[in-house]
Structure 1
Amino acid sequence: MKKFINRVDHFLAESLAGFAAAHADLVELNLEPVFVRRKTATPGKVALISGGGSGHEPLHSGFVGYGMLDAACPGQVFTSPTPDQMMAAAQAVDSGAGVLFIVKNYSGDLMNFEMAAEMCEAPNATVLVNDDVAVENSSYTTGRRGVAGTMIVEKLVGSMAESGANLEQCKAFGDHVVKRVASMGVAFSSGTVPAAGKPTFTIGEDEIEIGVGIHGEPGRRRARIAPADAIADELLTAIVDDLKPAADAALLVLVNGLGGTPLSELYLLFNSAHAWLRQRGFTIRRVQVGSLTTSLDMAGASLTLCSLDAEMMKRWDSAVQTPTLRWGR
């Protein structure tokens, strides 16, 4: 294992310390229990909180800031944060309008966020993200997994909360967005969890895992490496079959790197996706390309489609100021 690391058991703490120092103008790090919060809050708004196991950076801490999350709770690598982290974060960022938890559908995350929600004194609600169309159940979930589409949900609902919407409106809008987002990924290699010191799974030099999960869970099938056009075809066929966007739908396309893939390859994959969608008459209105929901150093990528209505388009375009996404201010 070759990584920038001092001691394995200090990996998360030192990474978070560096993150907070690098973005001290935007975020603050709380240590006991651990959570990241906005440095400058908007009084009277619904507070958005998300989180999950570390190793998926910049999700979620990288999306804390104006127009997105008020706080993020990072667990150990690929391990759910604990209810006390979520409770402390909620108490720190609640300004009286209630708390909305945005949760990826993984058993540990769901269980711990449910416990926090039950104990939370503030009015609260939960939006559950399950955008991965690859498999219905996995070793981590009952039902579909929450993956890169989570970032889209956080951005759109974050904008609505920033504009003054109440808790009920933010919850309803979040549920609406979830129904219009679908994703699927492919891995060329495994990520390596620092504490394990070896790849999570083994895969041949000429093999790919179609439909891989962001923790390295198995996908739909193991296949031989194929051209980017063929990979895009398989991913987008599954996504479109599930999402069933209208012929005149305005699509947001997210090409997401899983941690070990160069940006040049992600743009090449977008080129393949762009051609595939145009050939079938779909209209691409917004594009985001980059490594936004990763799996440590896994080589591979995921594609996400979001079918935008007018309100969703407005929310995507609205101002955001986070360590990772910044536009419109």
Structure 2
Amino acid sequence: MKKLINDPRAVVDESVEGFGMAHPGLVSVHPDPLYVSRAGGAVPGKVGLVSGGGSGHEPLHAGYVGLGMLDAAVPGAVFTSPTPDAIIPATQAADGGVGVVHIVKNYTGDVLNFETAAEMCAAEGIEVRTVLVNDDVAVEDSLYTAGRRGVAGTVLVEKIAGAAAERGDSLDAVAAIGERVAQNVRSMGLALTACTVPHAGKPSFELADDEIEIGIGIHGEPGRQRVGLEPADALTEHLLGPVADDLGLAGGEQVLLLVNGMGGTPLSELYVVYRRAAQLLADRGVAVVRSLVGNYVTSLEMQGASVTVLRLDDEMTGLWDAPVHTAALRWGV
């Protein structure tokens, strides 16, 4: 194992500390319990947004704390859900007096711990709504979940719900737009190589040099199938087809297309995937009107990619275009 780390047990703490030092105008880091909040604290009268999950998926989630997205993020240990004792103060830090929305990826630990934290916050007078993200079409009931996993579509939920909160929508309205995004987004990924969790010291699974894992999870969970090495266009078809079919996309619809890197794939290759995915959508009569390409929800240093499609309406498109200023996403400001 070769990694730029010191003690494997200190990776998350040291990484988050460095993140805070690099972005002091955007975030504040709270070390014990560990969470990241928006610089300057909660915005009075604005619905707060909180998300979190195991580390190793950077820039998710701390990279999306700031104007137009999250008010706080809770990083757990690598690939391990954060505990309620960190989620509770993060929720308190995000509360501007009108309630907080938790955006939760559908992993059993995340769901249970955020649910516990929401109940305890409610007992203290903070209204909490929860939006569950379960966009992965690859498998149901994986090693970490009951039902579909939450993957790269999480970024789109955070951005659009965050914009709704920033414009002053009510707690129920912000939760409703988050739910609408979650219901209209689907993703699927593949892996060329495994990743290595620092404290494990070895790859999370074995892939032969000529094998690709289709439908991989962001924790290295197995997917739908293993196939032999194929050209990028063929591999992209393995991803885009199930995503579009599951959404039931029809000709004339408009979508946002996200091609997400898993951490170790060059941007040049991601654009090769984007090219074919956009062509396949055009063949279906679907217009790609918004796009995003890059490393947004990763799996440490895994080589691979995922394709995410969001069915857009006019409101969601406007909220996507709204100003955002975070470490990982910035436009309109």
The two structures have a TM-score, normalised by structure 1, of 0.99
1:43 deviation in Å? 1.9
Equivalences for residues 253-268 of structure 1 within 5 A: 253-268=257-272
Equivalence for 2:326: 322
Cα separation, 2, equivalents of 1:236 and 1:269: 10
Cα separation, 2, equivalents of 1:144 and 1:311: 26
Equivalences for residues 16-31 of structure 1 within 5 A: 16-31=16-31
Query: 1:180-207 CA deviation, whole Å, 9 max, x = no partner?
Result: 1000000000010000011000000000
1:30 deviation in Å? 0.4
Equivalence for 1:46: 47
Equivalence for 1:97: 98
1:280 deviation in Å? 2.1
Equivalence for 2:237: 233
Contact 2:250 2:285 in 1 (8 A): no
Contact 1:46 1:166 in 2 (8 A): yes
* Greater Cα shift, 90-99 or 312-321: 90-99
Asked if 1:196 corresponds to 2:200, the answer is yes
Equivalence for 1:270: 274
Equivalence for 1:119: 120
Equivalences for residues 293-312 of structure 1 within 5 A: 293-312=297-316
1:269 deviation in Å? 0.8
Asked if 1:279 corresponds to 2:283, the answer is yes
Cα separation, 2, equivalents of 1:285 and 1:238: 20
Of 162, 169, 182, the residue aligned with 1:165 is: 169
Cα separation, 1, equivalents of 2:251 and 2:115: 38
Contact 1:125 1:167 in 2 (8 A): yes
1:173 deviation in Å? 1.2
| Partner-residue secondary structure (3-state), 2:87 | helix
Cα separation, 1, equivalents of 2:66 and 2:250: 33
Equivalences for residues 53-132 of structure 1 within 5 A: 53-120=54-121, 121=124, 122-132=126-136
Contact 1:189 1:300 in 2 (8 A): yes
Runs of 4+ in 1 over 6 A off after TM superposition: none
Cα separation, 2, equivalents of 1:228 and 1:76: 33
* Greater Cα shift, 267-276 or 181-190: 267-276
| Partner-residue secondary structure (3-state), 2:116 | helix
Contact 1:49 1:90 in 2 (8 A): yes
Contact 1:100 1:124 in 2 (8 A): yes
Of 211, 227, 239, the residue aligned with 1:207 is: 211
Equivalence for 2:142: 138
Q: How many residues align?
A: 329
Query: 1:247-285 CA deviation, whole Å, 9 max, x = no partner?
Result: 111110000000010001001111111111112211010
Cα separation, 2, equivalents of 1:230 and 1:171: 37
The two structures have a TM-score, normalised by structure 2, of 0.98
Equivalence for 2:155: 151
1:246 deviation in Å? 2.9
Contact 2:253 2:285 in 1 (8 A): no
Asked if 1:35 corresponds to 2:35, the answer is yes
Contact 2:261 2:297 in 1 (8 A): yes
Contact 1:80 1:109 in 2 (8 A): yes
Q: Unaligned stretches of 5+ in structure 1?
A: none
| Partner-residue secondary structure (3-state), 2:204 | coil
Equivalence for 1:313: 317
| Partner-residue secondary structure (3-state), 2:135 | coil
Identity score, percent:
57
Query: 1:282-322 CA deviation, whole Å, 9 max, x = no partner?
Result: 10100100000000000000000000000000000000000
Of 240, 247, 253, the residue aligned with 1:243 is: 247
Query: 1:54-89 CA deviation, whole Å, 9 max, x = no partner?
Result: 000000000000000000000000000000111011
